[in-house]
């Protein structure tokens, strides 16, 4: 079956193996572990191979608000169905390595943001 992986989150709101409904909030964006800044790290794995999920997202993948990076023809992958030809999968060679580690502390970040507000 499929496995989805979400990394670098400040907080997780679901647990491994939990079924979720479309539109559910799964986590809070973060920059934990080996990361260069807050982002949504998502991996889609099927049969032990990493798959490019771009065709599953509509209308495309956005890097900045209003700017679509990849215009794609969307597809649907039904549970227990055969993998659509538009979804490319391959064995992951390895994870990126970096010496830049940002360990965040959401409580301190919130305190710092409050202190930066005008009038304080």
Q: How much of the chain is helix, strand and coil, in % rounded to 5?
A: 10, 30, 60
Please report whether residue 63 resides in a domain: no
Please report whether residue 60 resides in a domain: no
Could you tell me the residue range of the domain that residue 108 belongs to?
2-52+88-115
Please report whether residue 33 resides in a domain: yes
Q: What pLDDT is recorded for position 25?
A: 93
Nearest to 26, CA basis, from 34, 17, 37: 17
- Containing 4, the helix (H) or strand (E) segment is strand 2-7
Per-residue pLDDT of the chain (120 residues; tens, 9 = 90+): 788 888 899 999 999 889 889 889 999 999 988 888 888 888 889 888 999 887 887 666 666 666 666 667 778 887 777 888 888 899 887 665 655 544 555 566 555 545 544 554
Q: What pLDDT is recorded for position 98?
A: 54
Please report whether residue 61 resides in a domain: no
Q: Please tell me the total count of domains within the chain.
A: 1
Beta strand residue intervals within 37-83, DSSP E: 41-46, 49-51, 60-64, 67-71
Please report whether residue 70 resides in a domain: no
* C-alpha span between 47 and 2 (Å, rounded): 7
Please report whether residue 81 resides in a domain: no
Please report whether residue 82 resides in a domain: no
């Amino acid at each position: 079956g499929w496995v989805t992986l979400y990394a670098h989150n400040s907080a997780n709101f679901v647990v491994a193996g939990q079924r979720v409904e479309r539109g559910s909030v799964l986590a809070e964006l973060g920059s934990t572990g080996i990361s260069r800044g807050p982002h949504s790290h998502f991996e889609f794995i099927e049969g032990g191979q990493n798959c490019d999920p771009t065709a599953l997202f509509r209308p495309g993948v956005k890097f900045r608000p209003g700017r679509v990076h990849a215009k794609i023809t969307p597809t649907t992958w039904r549970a227990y169905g055969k993998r659509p030809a538009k979804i490319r999968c391959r064995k992951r060679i390895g994870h990126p390595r970096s010496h830049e580690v940002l360990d965040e502390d959401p409580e301190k970040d919130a305190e710092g943001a409050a202190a930066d507000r005008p009038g304080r």
